[in-house]
Amino acid sequence: MAQVSMTVNGMRVSGEVEGRTLLSTFLRDTLELTGTHVGCDTGQCGACTIHVDGVSVKSCNMFALEAEGAEVTTIEGMANADGSLGTIQQAFQDHHGLQCGFCTPGMVMAAAALLKENPKPSEAEIRTYLSGNLCRCTGYHNIVKAILAASGQDVAKEFAA
C-alpha cells in the first residue's frame, strides 16, 4: 500500500492505495465521490470521465498513484458555489439531456472539456467529440441539443424536434 495525495474539487485529500488501484476506484470507494461511474472495463464508455489538471480523462484508465499532486475535478465539483446547477448541468436539465443518469456525469465532464477547447462547437463537432461517451437512453438527440444550448447557441424551442 502507498500513500497518495491530490486536490479533488478544491479539497486536499489523501489515502492509502495499492499500486493497481484505479483512480475511479479511489474516488468512489475511498473518497465516496460516487458520482463518477464505471460502465465498462475497456475505456470505451466514458461514464468515468473527470478532469485531471484541466484535461478530460477516463478515470478508469489511470492509476490513483498517477494523480499524485494533481488537481482533480469530478461531477461533484461542477455546480455553482451556491449549489445551483452550473451552465452545462442546467442545459442538460432544460433540454432533457439525461434519462437514467448513469452516463450523465461523464457526459457533463466531456461537454465541459469540449466547451473549454471550442466554445461554439457545431453539431457535428459535438457528435465527434462525444464519440468516447456512450449513452443508451437518449439517442444523443437531447445531449447534443443541451451542449449547443450551453454554448449559447440557438436551439429550437419545440419539444418534438
Partner 1 sequence: MPADGGIGAPNKRREDVRFLTGKGRYTDDINMRGQVYAAFLRSNVAHGRITSIDTSAAADMPGVIRVFTGADFEGIGGLPCGWQVTDRFGEVMQEPAHPVLAQGKVRHVGDPIAAVVAATAEQARDAVEAIEVEIEELPAVVDMKAALEEGAPKVHDDLTSNLCYDWGFVEENREAVNKAFEEAAHVTTLELRNQRLVANPMEPRVAIGDYAAHNDESTLYTTSQNPHVIRLLMGAFVLGIPEHKLRVVAPDVGGGFGSKIFHYAEEAFCTFAAKQIKRPVKWTSSRSEAFMTDAHGRDHVTKIELALDGDNNFAALRTETYANMGAYLSTFAPSVPTWLHGTLMAGNYRTPLIYVNVKAVFTNTVPVDAYRGAGRPEATFQLERVIDKAARELGVDPIALRRQNFITEFPYATPVAVEYDTGDYVATMDKLEEIADLAGFEKRLEESKARGKLRGLGVNCYIEACGIAPSHLVGQLGARAGLYESATVRVNATGGLVVMTGSHSHGQGHETAFPQVVAEMIGIDPNMIEIVHGDTANTPMGMGTYGSRSLAVGGSAIVRATEKIINKAKKIAAHLMEASEGDIELKDGQFTVAGTDKSVAWGDVTLAAYVPHNYPLEDIEPGLEETAFYDPNNFTYPAGAYACEVEVDPDTGKVTIERFAAADDFGNIVNPMIVSGQVHGGLGQGIGQALLEQAVYDENGQLLTGSYMDYAMPRADDVPFFAIDHSCATPCTHNPLGVKGCGEAGAIGSPPSVVNAVVDALQRAGKPVTHIDMPLSPARVWEAMNQ
By CB under 8 A, tell whether 127 contacts partner 1: yes
Interacting residue with partner 1 among 3, 120, 122, 139 (CB under 8 A): 139
By CB under 8 A, tell whether 50 contacts partner 1: no
Asked if 107 and 143 touch (Cβ cutoff 8 Å), the reply is yes
Distances (CA, A) of 138 to 46, 93, 143, 144, 146: 15, 13, 7, 10, 12
CA distance 36 to 32: 10
Closest CB 7 distance from partner 1, rounded Å: 17
Q: How far is CA 87 from the centre of its chain?
A: 14
Closest CB 62 distance from partner 1, rounded Å: 17
C-alpha cell recorded at residue 39? 460502465
Interacting residue with partner 1 among 117, 119, 120, 141 (CB under 8 A): 141
Q: For residues 62-99, b (16+ Cβ closer than 10 Å) or e, as one string?
A: bbbbebeebebbbbbbbeeeeeeebbbbbbbeebebbe
By CB under 8 A, tell whether 2 contacts partner 1: no
Site residues (CB under 8 A) for partner 1, limited to 3-42: 18, 20, 28-29, 33-42
Site string for partner 1, 55-94 (x = CB under 8 A): -------------------xxx-xx-----x---x--xxx
Closest CB 105 distance from partner 1, rounded Å: 6
DSSP string, 102-132: SSHHHHHHHHHHHHHH-SS--HHHHHHHGGG
Contact set with partner 1 (CB under 8 A): 18, 20, 28-29, 33-42, 44-45, 47, 74-76, 78-79, 85, 89, 92-94, 96, 98-105, 108, 123-124, 126-128, 130-131, 133-145, 159-161
